[in-house]
Amino acid sequence: MKTIKINAYNYQDLNKDSKENVKHWLDELPFDCEDEDEKGNIIKKLEYPSDWEELDIQEHCQSNEYLFDKYGKCIHHLQVK
């Protein structure tokens, strides 16, 4: 077995461009939610994380234990080349 070092970052540690990449990645799977119109009818819609406040995105990433490379790509698994 080999030991390797991986630099992984929390959302809040990323720069502005990398955070934008995270938002694009999160938006690939929007959340189903329900809202109510002015007449009281229930409307189903999609909620995109990029529309959230910065703190909400940070908390979402932290609660899901997401880690990212310095470019904002989520680290899911390792590929050896």
| Three-state secondary structure call for residue 31 | strand
Residues contacting residue 8 through CB under 8 Å, at least 6 positions apart? 67, 68, 69, 75
- Residue 3, pLDDT score: 78
Segments in the chain below pLDDT 50? none
Which letter does DSSP use for residue 68 in this model? B
What is the residue-averaged pLDDT of the chain? 90
Q: Which amino acid type is present at position 61?
A: C
Domain boundaries, the chain: 1-81
> What pTM did the predictor assign?
0.79
Report d(CA 8, CA 22) in Å as an integer.
13
